[in-house]
Copies of this chain bind each other. A is one copy, B any other.
């Protein structure tokens, strides 16, 4: 029997939507292409899958090359199959999304490749291939995921204040949430634990620092979004 790869198979690529959060801004890592197709335009970082790689290996390879780090939170998003999505020929893309916390993001600034840049989710430019659609799918997934799964684990530093967590949720969901109801909800869920320490040196009352509860049973976390716009 002939080995599989001697038949004609579509090319198989991984494309990554890497979300970074910093200073109340959710951004995505984009690649400025310096070769055809879409030379000079923006795309998501991606790579073709090698025969001996698992999806996660390809993801790590892309992340190491472009961001200078791997081992991020990764989740498979969807597989895209439009025959016209790549002008070079038939190519299937298995899209993943990744989350980077602000601390790692700072470090990344020095190790990032020269051809990539963080771009605000709200100011996404035109993207090559079908990457705009992939980006939209990823944002939608992140927004729904955050409502029933403690995603903040991956986007905040180890220690953080209630306000920082609150701002993260408002930013991702692009809405405002009542501060006091949010607080009660989160504390009741045991999603996070107080450390007893406080963040000093602000111009106001020193807020409590929290950490994520690593022993959380993830299935009893459910955040409902109020219709209102907070206070």
- A residues near B (Cβ < 8 Å) are 1, 3-5, 7-12, 48-49, 51-52, 54-55, 76, 78-79, 81-83, 86, 88-92, 94
How far apart are the CA atoms of A49 and B54 in the complex, in Å?
Answer: 19
Total identical chains:
2
List, sorted by A's number, 21 A–B pairs whose CB atoms are closer than 8 Å: A1-B88, A3-B88, A4-B88, A4-B90, A5-B8, A5-B10, A5-B11, A5-B89, A9-B11, A9-B12, A9-B51, A10-B12, A10-B49, A51-B90, A54-B81, A54-B82, A55-B81, A76-B78, A79-B79, A79-B94, A92-B94
- Chain A at the B interface: mostly helix, strand, loop or mixed? loop
**In the complex with contacts A9-B11, A10-B4, A12-B12, A55-B79 CB distance below 8 A:** yes
How far apart are the CA atoms of A10 and B3 in the complex, in Å?
Answer: 10
The closest CB in chain B to the CB of A55 belongs to B81
Quick one: which of B4, B55, B78, B88 contacts A91, CB cutoff 8 A?
B4
